[in-house]
């Protein structure tokens, strides 16, 4: 009998013992998004409700939700809807919120930790800012003791403008001895029915299946890494246990967008790029990077508030020589030394 089955049986036993216990009303959850998510989901999945298929979970974290069973709402019966990725997923929260709610599993460009458009960030402090950079350059988005993320920018410079318009084409996520790349391929004419997403693990391109579980995963010595599709094509959720989660979507620059912003894009390039929302599980207080530093405790954003395009500087501090280099003036990340040569 494997460990999971054993776990389930123990859980069910406990459940039958404790189901009589009544628990006081839950307090208002505070819902802080910033670097505070438990890496362990804090529950054990139970069999879905017969008939409706609503998934259920038995909470195992200490607190108001301890030993309670949460049931997914009928509008989103599954945590990872597979057939129709246009459905919301059920999100089970065994923290003080103690609830199961429906959530889109796609990046929210206005949410904490967002990186979208020509790059526009929303920091861990909730403050929105733009970062200029330049086309065909790489910048450290996050640099910490055990995590480093670079972004590769693509872009264009319309005639008569002093700077490039830029978008994030590729992210390189480095942790332990590993590198996970998530990016958009170059697309001349965008087609919704074509996957323009690239995923690479330690330099090898991996295929994320589009059916079945629609996910690719690997277990390293330190943690588990999962890349799961959150739509039929061009969207994934990446989870690196105890490090981070990112929701990514590959999108083109549409004709309308091109006109409105006067990007003057060439006719043979859709500028496929990423919309991303990050969630971090274990940042240190000294975390650096264009986005990372906004997660420092007590960080005060230097950007002007109340203007339509507040600009964050720092090009000189965060530019790296290449997509996979963790070297910059403010960078902190170092590969574990035992494998530096690997
Ligand atoms: C969390 O980060 C610290 C360094 O900031 C590291 O020492 C620790 O191992 C990390 N925890 C996990 C579970 O990865």
Establish if 118 belongs to a structural domain: yes
Q: Angle at the Cα of 89 (from 84 to 91), degrees rounded to 5?
A: 170
The pTM for the full model equals: 0.81
Indicate if 206 and 270 belong to the same structural domain.
Answer: yes
Indicate if 218 and 310 belong to the same structural domain.
Answer: yes
The DSSP 8-state label assigned to residue 339 in this structure reads: G
User: Using CA atoms, how far apart are residues 265 and 268, in angstroms rounded to an integer?
Assistant: 8
Indicate if 97 and 121 belong to the same structural domain.
Answer: no
* Residue 1 burial (C-beta neighbours within 10 Å; 0-12, 13-18, 19+): exposed
Indicate if 84 and 128 belong to the same structural domain.
Answer: no
Report pLDDT digits (tens) over 94-113. Answer: 999 999 999 888 889 999 99
Indicate if 8 and 99 belong to the same structural domain.
Answer: yes
Mutate which of 35, 145, 224, 335 to test ligand 1's pocket (most atoms within 8 Å of Cβ)? 145
The closest of 129, 122, 96 to 108, measured between CA atoms, is 122
The domain boundary residue, chosen from 103, 129, 151: 103
Mutate which of 223, 240, 244, 282 to test ligand 1's pocket (most atoms within 8 Å of Cβ)? 282
Indicate if 255 and 152 belong to the same structural domain.
Answer: yes
Indicate if 118 and 86 belong to the same structural domain.
Answer: no
Establish if 39 belongs to a structural domain: yes
Contact (Cβ atoms closer than 8 angstroms) between residue 208 and residue 217:
no
Indicate if 45 and 152 belong to the same structural domain.
Answer: no
Bridge partners (DSSP) listed for residue 90: 102
Report pLDDT digits (tens) over 285-342. Answer: 999 999 999 999 999 999 988 888 999 999 999 999 999 999 999 999 998 865 544 4
Q: Structurally, how many domains does the chain consist of?
A: 2
Establish if 47 belongs to a structural domain: yes
CA of 95 to the centre of ligand 1 (A): 21
Establish if 108 belongs to a structural domain: no
Establish if 151 belongs to a structural domain: yes
Which residue's CA is the nearest one to ligand 1's atom 12? 242
Establish if 109 belongs to a structural domain: no
Which residue's CA is the nearest one to ligand 1's atom 14? 242
- Which residue bears the tokens 């403050």? 127
Question: Can you give the residue range of the structural domain that contains 43?
Answer: 3-103
Indicate if 181 and 311 belong to the same structural domain.
Answer: yes
CA of 242 to the centre of ligand 1 (A): 8
pLDDT tens digits for the chain (342 residues)? 456 666 555 555 444 444 333 332 332 333 334 444 435 678 999 999 999 999 999 999 999 999 999 999 999 999 988 655 678 889 999 999 999 999 888 889 999 999 999 999 999 999 999 998 999 999 999 999 999 999 999 999 988 889 899 999 999 999 999 999 999 999 999 999 999 999 999 999 999 998 878 899 999 999 999 999 998 899 999 999 999 999 999 999 988 888 888 898 888 999 999 999 999 999 999 999 999 999 999 999 999 888 889 999 999 999 999 999 999 999 999 988 655 444
Establish if 152 belongs to a structural domain: yes
């Amino acid at each position: 009998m494997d460990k999971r089955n054993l776990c389930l049986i123990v859980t069910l036993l406990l459940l039958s013992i404790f189901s009589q216990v009544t628990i006081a009303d839950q307090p208002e959850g505070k819902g802080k998004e910033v670097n505070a998510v438990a890496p362990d989901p804090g529950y054990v999945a139970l069999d879905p409700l017969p008939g409706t298929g609503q998934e259920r979970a038995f909470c195992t974290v200490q607190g108001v939700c301890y030993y309670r069973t949460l049931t997914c709402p009928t509008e989103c019966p599954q945590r990872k809807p597979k057939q129709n990725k246009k459905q919301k997923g059920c999100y089970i929260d065994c923290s003080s919120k103690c609830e199961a709610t429906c959530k889109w599993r796609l990046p929210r460009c206005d949410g904490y930790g967002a990186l979208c458009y020509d790059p526009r960030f929303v920091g861990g402090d909730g403050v929105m800012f733009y970062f200029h950079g330049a086309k065909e350059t790489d910048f450290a988005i996050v640099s910490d003791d055990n995590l480093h993320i670079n972004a590769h920018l693509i872009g264009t410079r319309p005639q008569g403008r002093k700077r490039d318009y830029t978008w994030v084409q590729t992210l390189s996520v480095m942790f332990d001895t590993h590198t996970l790349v998530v990016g958009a391929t170059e697309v001349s004419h965008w087609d919704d029915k074509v996957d323009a997403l690239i995923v690479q693990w330690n330099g090898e391109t991996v295929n994320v299946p589009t059916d079945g579980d629609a996910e690719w995963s690997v277990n390293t010595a330190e943690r588990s890494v999962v890349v799961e599709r959150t739509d039929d094509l061009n969207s994934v959720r990446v989870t690196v246990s105890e490090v981070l989660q990112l929701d990514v979507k590959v999108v083109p620059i549409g004709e309308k967008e091109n006109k409105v912003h006067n990007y003057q894009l060439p006719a043979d390039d859709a500028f496929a790029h990423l919309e991303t929302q990050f969630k971090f599980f274990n940042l240190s207080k000294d975390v650096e990077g264009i986005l990372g530093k906004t997660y420092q405790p007590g960080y005060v954003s230097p950007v002007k508030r109340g203007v339509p395009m507040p600009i964050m500087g720092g090009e000189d501090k965060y530019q790296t020589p290449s997509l996979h280099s963790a070297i910059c003036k403010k960078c902190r990340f170092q590969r574990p030394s035992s494998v530096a040569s690997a």
